[in-house]
Structure 1
Amino acid sequence: MSGGFVADAPEAALSTLFVPFDSGVLKLPADARVLFLRARAGVRLREIAQSGWLCEQGFLPFAGELARCGLRVGEPSPGETYPLVLLLPPRQRDEARALFARALDRLAPGGTLVASMAKAEGAKSGEADLRQLAGVAGSLSKHHCRVFWATPEAEAIDRALQDAWRALDAPRETPEGWWSRPGLFAWDRVDRASALLAAHFPADLGGRVADLGAGYGYLAAQLIARCPGIAALDLYEAEARALEPARRNTANALRAAGRDLPVGVHWHDVTRGLPQRYDAIVSNPPFHLGRADLPELGRAFIASAADALAAAGRLLIVANRHLPYEALLGARFAKVRQLALQDGFKVIEARGVRA
């Protein structure tokens, strides 16, 4: 198993989130019950969190990092509310609006919702959205971030708008007919790199196959449509919100192909290894988190794939042409060849895992 990959926490946004408490403008609840949505591990969180805090995080590497820091990770029980709800809204606006709506569902009467965003990641829009939905009681700026909060009376919440925004997170069909949801990678289109990789799937690809970093299931659906020799297919994806769209898209692909094929959709951190052996693996591996290029993330995917492939297995990946994967591929596989170089992307096939 690989050692895993841990990205730096957004310390600026995390520190700014707690500024109103550090300055005495807001107080932590007496019963120490706090819900933190899209929580991230960080120094300030470890300092302030108590046993009554619940951290919710749908991206498995980040959830694992929270747990390793000794924080309680999970989802609130149905109907459970909290006197304080913290959140780090995402940049994607529909996803953020749905999160604001859901945060209000979890807010106890008289409770306070507190959000922090980097100014470069949409803080102005986020604050405006919360004001429109429930009013804003205050805001502060620090560390190039903005923290804003609301303690809304029930009648101050725009319930019709809340219902509309909550629905923004539901899986929806894109214009091209794929099930997806806002905030997923290339959520409203077919990614050009993935399309290029799918166009180079060999017709003789067969046996037990895995798709690493499957997203909403585009590559897996293409495997079902193009490769009749596949006997079983597993999708591995770290973002929990992608799993339901992936299940729908693979089910649609099976119906369209008239096939009865075992398909597993797994919430899994690929960088920590795979639980089974495979005859072939495909991937459009991630190489960034946020706006930062992190080629070591893609290299971790390649290492996990090599560890999980049968001796004669093969790996098919697509990547931006500048990413330095060839040295690792050459070290882990006997044969490495470039199948395509187009529109700034390269498709690479690697075969024969080195012992």
Structure 2
Amino acid sequence: MDPRSEVVLRQQQFLSGKLLLINAPADHLSHELSKNLDVSIWTWNFADHQYFEQQQFDTHFSVEFPKTDIDQVIIFVPKSKELLSYILHVVASHLKQGQSIFLVGEKKGGVERAAKQLQPLGKNLKLDSARHCQLWQCILEKTDTLKPLQNWVKTYSLQINQTQLHICALPGVFSQNHLDVGTAILLPYLNNIKSGKLADFGCGAGVISAYLAKLNSKNEIYALDVDAFALCSTEMTFHRNGLNLEQLHIQAVTGIHDAPQQLDAIVSNPPFHQGIHTDYAASEGLCKQAKKHVTLNGELWIVANRFLNYALLIEQQFGCCNVLADQQGFKVLYAQAS
């Protein structure tokens, strides 16, 4: 069991009524909690959502607070400070004065910093410090009026060749404030991509998806991500650029195995983090399974850190992998199915 969940179990005498677990890890915590509690889950991670569904829990995959009455919440601290600010605001706009917000996280995951973000909402008490984690309780004194999701979007503009894009990114989404180096290196090469049915695996704020849509209005774009905030950001980016939403297919996935079949190309700046931890499963899975999802002569375009040996994994599947660029610590890799 996740150490954060173990700390919650140690102090479950403080829990009562309708309890919402926010950003909870996919473990057995919900089974171990008292049967007197009415437990539901809010997550924006599709893999976690599927796990909780299989366990037959009341789980909500969304960027917004569930439409249900809640007495208490436990927030598992996310990596992003901005995302926590959004969550605290949403929670404070749904709970009543006197109700409790619990905050749990790893010390190396920034729980002490997160506890400071909790302070303006009410009286705070550290309930436990164990397993390299901390559990805090805030008795809510200051409620809030819910702001529209649009108020939390950050925008920036970029120019690739002759194409200008305006990017919209919600809190917690990769590269929320500016274009990341890897994607910047990849984008100019995509002018040569095969047109048709294209997937952007790990779409983030929709930079690649929007660029592919701009390149050819007939391209059919599948924006794939595990994160609800990323999928929502991609849709917002399409709106912001006046792109045809009929070109865009938003799809929550747990990995490349959930992607459509018969794609003309897959493009990715693949993710390698799960929360605060490094996790190469999704990106390595992409390299190993992409060929199953493309047509004959279908393409794979990837940008990745130079030190990651993805070229070998791709070559084992496609027979050949070309390094199109090697700069600023990143490689652009290309392969074609035969």
1:16 aligned partner: 7
Query: What stretches of structure 1 of length at least 5 have no aligned partner?
Result: 1-8
Measured in 2, the distance between the counterparts of 1:167 and 1:293 equals: 29
Is it true that 1:192 corresponds to 2:181 in the alignment?
yes
1:183 aligns with 2:162: no
User: In the alignment, is the contact (CA less than 8 A) between 2:104 and 2:134 conserved in 1?
Assistant: yes
- Secondary structure at 1:107 match in 2: coil
- Using the TM superposition, give the Cα deviation of residue 56 of structure 1 relative to its aligned residue in structure 2, in angstroms: 1.0
The partner residue of 2:155 within 162, 173, 180 is: 173
Q: For residue 220 of structure 2, what is the aligned residue in structure 1?
A: 232
AA at the equivalent of 2:48: F
Task: Say if 1:138 and 1:168 are closer, same or farther in 2 by CA, change over 3 A.
Answer: farther
Query: Aligned residue for 2:161?
Result: none
**Aligned position for 2:74:** 86
Please report how far the alpha carbon of residue 277 of structure 1 lies from its aligned counterpart in structure 2 after TM superposition: 1.7
Q: How far apart are 1:350 and its partner, in Å?
A: 0.7
Q: Which moved more, 1:190-199 or 1:289-298?
A: 289-298
Say if 1:254 and 1:305 are closer, same or farther in 2 by CA, change over 3 A.
farther
The equivalent residue for 2:51 is 65
* Contact 1:206–1:229 (Cα < 8 Å) also in 2: no
How high is the TM-score relative to the length of structure 1? 0.83
- 1:106-255 equivalences in 2 (<5 Å): 106-108=94-96, 110-152=98-140, 156-157=141-142, 159=143, 162-163=144-145, 170-174=152-156, 177-203=166-192, 205-225=194-214, 227-228=215-216, 230-253=218-241, 255=243
Match of 2:309 in 1: 324
Residues 121 and 138, structure 2, Cα contact 8 Å, conserved in 1: no
Deviation of 1:199 after TM superposition, in Å, equals 1.6
| Alignment-mate amino acid for residue 285 of structure 2 | A
**Equivalent position amino acid for 1:61 in 2:** A
Correspondence for 2:290: 305
Q: Number of aligned pairs? A: 327
The answer (yes or no) to whether the contact 1:207–1:229 under 8 Å persists in 2 is no
2:90 is equivalent to residue 102 of structure 1 = yes
Cα 1:309–1:45, aligned 2, differ >3 Å: closer, same or farther?
same
CA distance in 2, matches of 1:209, 1:335: 21
Mean CA deviation greater in 92-101 or 229-238: 229-238
Pair 1:34 & 2:34 matched: no
- Write the distance in 2 (CA, Å) between the matches of 1:276 and 1:242: 22
Amino acid at match of 1:151: I
CA RMSD, 1 decimal: 2.7
Check conservation: 1:81, 1:105, Cα contact below 8 A.
no
Structural mapping, 1:263-274, within 5 Å: 263-274=248-259
Between the aligned partners of 2:186 and 2:51, the Cα distance in structure 1 is 32
User: TM-score, structure 2 length as denominator?
Assistant: 0.86
CA apart distance, 1:347: 0.6
- Structure 2, unmatched stretches of 5+, are 159-165
Q: Is the 8 A contact 1:115 1:148 kept in 2?
A: yes
Structure 1 counterpart of 2:225, which letter? E
Structure 1 residues 58-94: Cα deviation after superposition (integer angstroms, max 9, x where no partner): 111121222233432126653x322221111213222
